[in-house]
């Protein structure tokens, strides 16, 4: 919580997708999962399926995260007060974070002193004790650094990190690493590396550093993707296992066995010894590495393999693999024969995952988590009653966009959020009814899954069904209308009930859902009374069978939050209209408060292209083309009485148009004012709900307040003090209508958000004057880590003390905050 004398802030929701890279996700002994979301490190709780926080600090995309201790060492970490997390980014920077389990507070401990010159690709660690660990980090230039870290035993002490060794292992990238202590040889470690060739490199070294190459393991026929050492088993303390997976679709299990003292063991060079595998010496002992088993079952690249975490110091013979073939498998040896077989396979029914980048065990081995190509998580939990009867069921997970979120808007009465993104999707988020005290938000639907990056969205106001318009990197504005399946699902959310569309009117909605078209550009309605038989596609289905077909949507009323498979295909909204007119890609949209007009603008280098088009809701005819600007209009907004339209532009001007309706319904418009308002591009604007004042924000780091006076001229009444970075978003909400007081939320390119209280005074002599005071600076851990793209206050009744704000940004995040005034 961020506190201030007047305003209290509370984090309500964070929605974010996972960066689409391998090694990005880690499940810690703390029970929490970490992942990179653009430049942020996000932390989620699998029990509640909520993202708890994001950690700001990286200036580049986060590639990998690794908990100390991870799930593998959970058995050594029963009662830790503090857990640690490593995160590495594409600039080569690695940061160490600390989580205090008592207070749930996070702290940026340090940045590793010696950065990699290229991006960090993987991090692996070995917990030597509760307060001491060794870890290795690999980079895309083939350098591997080995580190020693000691954690404080008393709260007053600090973490100590030292670099033990830097190994130039390869000229190409190293993409996977695993560390283990050599059997019966305390203080000596094996480090396995895999990269963009088909050999596994094995290094050995001491606890104090200096690792040397001891052998290479050959067998795979393509790049090595994942490596994981097991911990020693009680019955075989003189050996450990290494599992490896590759783009050759095969998983190999290698056994590293202590074969004797250096002096006593001699080797015959025979054909048999060649088959048995390489031998190396470390300290007093000789070790041999041989192939234990080869696991064939996946049909595509196997991106990750992981040993099941030990239970009570006992290492189970069980491996989880995740592959680009959209499945995760659990492999175990048969009791009688000892042959390794695939005993569990999950995920094969999903069309949407486009493959998994990695799979992870929970510390108690009851759950498995995959992250996929669409930035999505997939979680299964074994709800079987005994060891013999395994039953893996899909569970709720957090979700969100996996690219910059460009625009966000509230439903008419604030019952849900609608966000659009460069990941080419439109998503609905809402809080879901549950028995718990805290409200839990989930993704409710994915109304639009498109073939172009989406730039802007606006909710159509007024009566009737839920509708929105969206604009993407194309010249067409698209209109969508909520299907019956969505209206019924909405009843199970916290907003519940009828919201802004009474049930007796829902009878007119004949559309149940929508189907994806093959090219992913248009969404066709599925009608209520159409036959339930799947359509015979392409007349009898000859000829096109070889194409991967899009599955037939089956829209239904959802009684609990949907999982990824449902979201990707069965929650689409039908597209009802296309609006043609603009000559370039759409950039900004807005709807008036009455729900009769939509205004749109597109990217522009000339006055002709910079026209603002007005569309009439319902007929969807173009009813006006407003000329004023010479470059892209970046933001549009109607005044609360719908008589004025404000536009701001890259040409550093704002324009105010008066919008009039004649008795016969014709729309007339006139340019009232055009002012050069800032020294740089104007990013955003927002009207005062209680009058004809508005705010503009710009790259020149300022926010200015303007007023339209009685004689229709515009005057500047206030400029807020200069901000620390470019102001990319601004939103004005009312606090008290009598006092004409309000609150302006300010979002910056740095990701930070501030709230300013503002009071407007109108007198005959002086005209309009305004005063402003800083109400709250949100702390960085609550804010975005990259530019804020839009801020929007939830529509509320006047004079409420609790206000809700949503924000979206380039860090792929959608955030919701509550403020108590």
pLDDT tens string 314-334: 889 999 999 998 999 999 999
What does the pLDDT read at residue 45? 95
Domains in the chain with CATH codes: 297-387 (no CATH), 405-497+511-526+553-820 (2.130.10.10)
Alpha-carbon distance 55 to 59, whole Å? 12
Q: Specify which residues 392 forms β-bridges with.
A: 382
User: Is residue 146 classed as helix, strand or coil in its secondary structure?
Assistant: strand
**Confidence at residue 545, expressed as pLDDT on a 0 to 100 scale:** 37
Residue 162: name the closest of 180, 150, 178 by CA. 150
Angstrom distance (rounded) from CA 778 to CA 626: 38
Alpha-carbon gap, residue 339 to 319, rounded angstroms: 13
Handedness of CA 120, 122, 126, 127 (dihedral sign): positive
Average pLDDT, the chain: 89
Give per-residue pLDDT as tens, 350-399: 555 578 999 999 999 999 999 998 899 999 999 987 777 789 999 999 99
Q: How many C-beta atoms lie closer than 10 Å to residue 464's C-beta?
A: 16
Question: What's the first-to-final CA gap in the chain, in angstroms?
Answer: 14
pLDDT > 70: what percent of the chain? Answer: 91
What tokens appear for 129 in the block? 């004790």
Q: What sign has the CA pseudo-torsion 379, 383, 384, 385?
A: positive
Residue 214 has pLDDT above 70, yes or no: yes
SS3 content of the chain, % helix, strand, coil (to 5): 5, 50, 45
CA distances from 695 to 691, 720, 730, 737, 769 (A): 12, 10, 7, 18, 14
Q: How far apart are CA 110 and CA 112, in angstroms?
A: 6
Range 98-113 average pLDDT: 92
Cα separation of 515 and 522, whole Å? 9
pLDDT one-digit tens code per residue, 3-20: 445 789 999 999 999 999
Contact 600, 625 (CB under 8 A): no
Q: What DSSP line would sit under 550-580, residue for residue?
A: PPPP-----SSPPPHHHHHHHSPPPEEEEE-
Q: Which of 213-222, 275-284, 514-523, 531-540 has the highest mean pLDDT?
A: 213-222
Tens of pLDDT, residue by residue over 44-58, are: 999 999 999 999 999
Give Cβ neighbours of residue 190 (< 8 Å, ≥ 6 apart). Answer: 179, 180, 181, 182, 202, 203, 204, 229, 256, 282
In the structure encoding, which two tokens stand for residue 159, read together?
Answer: 């973490």
Mean pLDDT of 772-797: 94
How far apart are alpha carbons 149 and 543 in whole angstroms? 61
> 781 burial class (0-12, 13-18, 19+ CB within 10 angstroms)?
middle
Distance CA 179, CA 149 (A): 14
Q: Which of 221-235, 294-308, 482-496 has the lowest average pLDDT? A: 482-496
Q: Report the C-alpha gap between 808 and 789 in whole angstroms.
A: 6
3 state SS for 416-453:
CEEEEECCCEEEEEEEECCCCCCCEEEEEEEEEECCCC
Question: In angstroms, what CA-CA distances link 267 with 259, 276, 373, 625, 664?
Answer: 10, 11, 48, 88, 101
Q: How many CB atoms lie within 10 A of CB 740?
A: 20
- Residues 649, 632: contact at Cβ < 8 Å? yes
pLDDT above 60 (res 70): yes
pLDDT of residue 491: 84
| Dihedral sign (CA 737, 738, 739, 740) | positive
728 Cβ neighbours under 8 A, 6+ residues apart: 683, 684, 697, 747, 748, 749, 787, 788, 789
The three-point CA angle 468-674-722 to 5° equals 85
The confidence band for 278, taking pLDDT boundaries of 50, 70 and 90, is confident
pLDDT, tens only, 659-718: 998 877 789 999 999 999 999 999 999 999 999 999 999 999 999 999 998 888 899 999
pLDDT band of residue 639 (cuts 50, 70, 90) is very high
Q: What is the mean pLDDT of residues 491-513?
A: 67
Query: Higher model confidence: residue 488 or residue 723?
Result: 723
**CA gap 714, 692 in Å, rounded:** 10
CA nearest neighbour of 457 among 444, 472, 443: 472
Q: Is the distance from CB of 507 to CB of 487 less than 8 angstroms? A: no
Q: Which two tokens stand for residue 777?
A: 């600076």
pLDDT bin (cut points 50, 70, 90) of residue 263 is low
Phi-psi region of 497 (alpha: psi -120 to 50; beta: other; left: phi over 0): left
Angle at 183 between CA 180 and CA 189, to 5 degrees: 35
Question: Rounded distance, CA 467 to CA 289, Å?
Answer: 64
In degrees and rounded to multiples of 5, residue 640 shows phi and psi of -65, -20
Mean pLDDT, residues 238-266:
87
Q: What is the pLDDT of residues 336-353, one digit of tens each?
A: 999 999 999 998 755 555
Both tokens assigned to 319:
């491996």
Q: Is the pLDDT of residue 237 over 90?
A: no
Task: Indicate whether 155 pLDDT > 70.
Answer: yes
Is 486's pLDDT higher than 60?
yes
* 120 or 536, greater pLDDT: 120
Distance in angstroms (rounded) separating the CA atoms of residues 184 and 287: 11
What's residue 93's pLDDT?
A: 96
More confident residue, 561 or 388: 561
Chain Cα centroid distance, residue 746: 23
Q: What is the DSSP string of 176-229?
A: EEEEEEPTT-TTEEEEEEEESSSEEEEEEEETTEEEEEEEEEE--SS-EEEEEE
What percent of the chain has pLDDT above 90? 69
Number of Cα atoms under 13 Å in the Cβ half of residue 189: 28
- pLDDT, average across residues 550-568: 81
Contacts of 317 (CB under 8 A, 6+ apart): 233, 332, 333
Looking at the predicted structure, is the pLDDT value of residue 541 above 50?
no
């Amino acid at each position: 919580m961020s506190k201030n004398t007047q305003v209290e802030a509370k984090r309500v929701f964070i929605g974010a997708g996972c960066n689409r890279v391998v090694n990005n996700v880690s499940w810690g002994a703390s029970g929490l999962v970490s992942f990179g979301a653009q430049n942020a490190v996000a932390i989620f709780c699998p029990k509640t399926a909520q993202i708890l926080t994001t950690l700001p600090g990286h200036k580049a995309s986060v590639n990998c995260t690794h908990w100390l201790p991870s799930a593998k060492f959970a058995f050594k970490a029963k009662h830790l007060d503090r857990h640690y997390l490593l995160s590495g980014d594409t600039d080569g920077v690695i940061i160490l974070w600390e989580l205090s389990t008592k207070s749930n507070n996070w702290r940026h401990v340090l940045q590793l002193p010696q950065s990699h010159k290229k991006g960090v690709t993987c991090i692996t660690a070995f917990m030597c004790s509760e307060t001491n660990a060794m870890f290795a980090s690999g980079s895309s230039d083939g350098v591997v650094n080995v580190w020693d870290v000691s954690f404080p035993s008393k709260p007053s002490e600090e973490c100590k990190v030292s670099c033990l060794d830097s190994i130039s292992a390869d000229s190409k990238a190293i993409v996977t690493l695993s560390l283990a202590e050599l059997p019966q040889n305390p203080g000596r470690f094996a480090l396995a590396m895999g990269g963009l060739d088909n050999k596994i490199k094995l290094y050995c070294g001491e606890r104090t550093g200096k690792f040397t190459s001891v052998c290479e393991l050959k067998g795979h026929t393509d790049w090595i993707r994942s490596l994981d050492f097991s911990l020693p088993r009680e019955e075989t303390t003189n050996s450990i296992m290494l599992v490896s997976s590759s783009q050759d679709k095969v998983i190999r299990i290698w056994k590293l066995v202590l074969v004797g003292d250096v002096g006593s063991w001699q080797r015959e060079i025979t054909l048999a010894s060649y088959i048995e595998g390489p031998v190396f010496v470390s300290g007093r002992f000789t070790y041999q590495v041989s192939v234990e088993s080869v696991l064939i079952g996946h049909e595509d690249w196997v991106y990750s393999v992981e040993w099941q975490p030990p239970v009570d110091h006992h290492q189970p013979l069980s491996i989880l693999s995740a592959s680009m073939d959209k499945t995760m498998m659990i492999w175990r040896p048969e009791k009688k024969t000892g042959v390794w077989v695939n005993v569990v396979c999950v995920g094969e029914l999903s069309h949407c995952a486009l493959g998994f980048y990695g799979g992870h065990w929970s510390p108690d081995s009851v759950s498995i988590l995959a992250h996929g190509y669409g930035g999505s998580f997939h979680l299964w939990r074994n709800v079987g009653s005994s060891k013999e009867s395994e039953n893996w069921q899909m569970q709720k997970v957090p979700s969100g966009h996996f690219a910059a979120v460009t625009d966000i808007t509230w439903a008419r009465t604030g019952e849900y959020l609608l966000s659009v993104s460069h990941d080419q999707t439109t998503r609905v988020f809402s809080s879901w009814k549950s028995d718990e005290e805290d409200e839990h938000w989930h993704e409710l639907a994915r109304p639009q899954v498109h073939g172009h990056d989406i730039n802007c969205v606006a909710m159509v106001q007024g009566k009737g069904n839920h509708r929105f318009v969206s604009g993407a990197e194309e010249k067409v504005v698209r209109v969508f209308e909520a299907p019956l399946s969505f209206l019924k699902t909405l009843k199970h959310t916290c907003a519940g009930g009828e919201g802004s569309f009474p049930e007796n009117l829902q009878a007119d909605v004949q559309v149940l859902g929508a189907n994806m078209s093959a090219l992913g550009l248009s969404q066709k309605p599925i009608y209520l009374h159409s036959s339930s038989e799947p359509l015979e596609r392409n007349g009898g289905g000859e000829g096109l069978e070889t194409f991967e077909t899009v599955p037939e949507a089956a829209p239904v009323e959802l009684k609990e939050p949907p999982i990824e498979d449902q979201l990707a295909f069965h929650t689409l909204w039908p597209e009802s209209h296309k609006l043609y007119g603009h000559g370039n890609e759409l950039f900004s949209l807005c709807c008036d408060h009455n729900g009769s007009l939509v205004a749109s603008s597109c990217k522009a280098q000339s006055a002709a292209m910079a026209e603002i088009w007005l569309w009439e809701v319902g007929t969807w005819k173009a009813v006006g083309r407003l000329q004023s600007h010479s470059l892209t209009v970046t933001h549009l907004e109607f005044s609360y009485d719908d008589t004025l339209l404000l536009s701001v532009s890259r040409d550093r001007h704002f324009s105010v148009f008066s919008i009039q309706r004649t008795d016969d319904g014709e729309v007339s418009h006139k340019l009232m004012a055009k002012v050069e308002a800032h020294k740089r591009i104007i990013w955003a604007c927002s009207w005062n709900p209680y009058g004809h004042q508005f705010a503009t924000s710009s790259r020149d780091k300022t926010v200015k307040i303007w007023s339209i006076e009685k004689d229709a001229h515009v005057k500047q009444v206030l400029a807020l003090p200069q901000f620390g970075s470019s102001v990319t978003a601004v939103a004005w909400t009312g606090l008290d209508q009598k006092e004409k007081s309000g609150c302006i939320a300010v979002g910056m390119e740095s990701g930070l958000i501030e709230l300013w209280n503002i009071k407007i005074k109108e007198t005959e002599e002086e005209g309009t004057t305004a005063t402003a005071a800083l109400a709250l600076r949100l702390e960085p851990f609550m804010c975005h880590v990259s530019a804020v793209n839009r801020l929007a206050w939830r529509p509320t009744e006047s004079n409420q003390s609790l206000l809700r704000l949503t924000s979206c940004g380039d860090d792929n995040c959608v955030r919701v905050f509550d403020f108590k005034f």
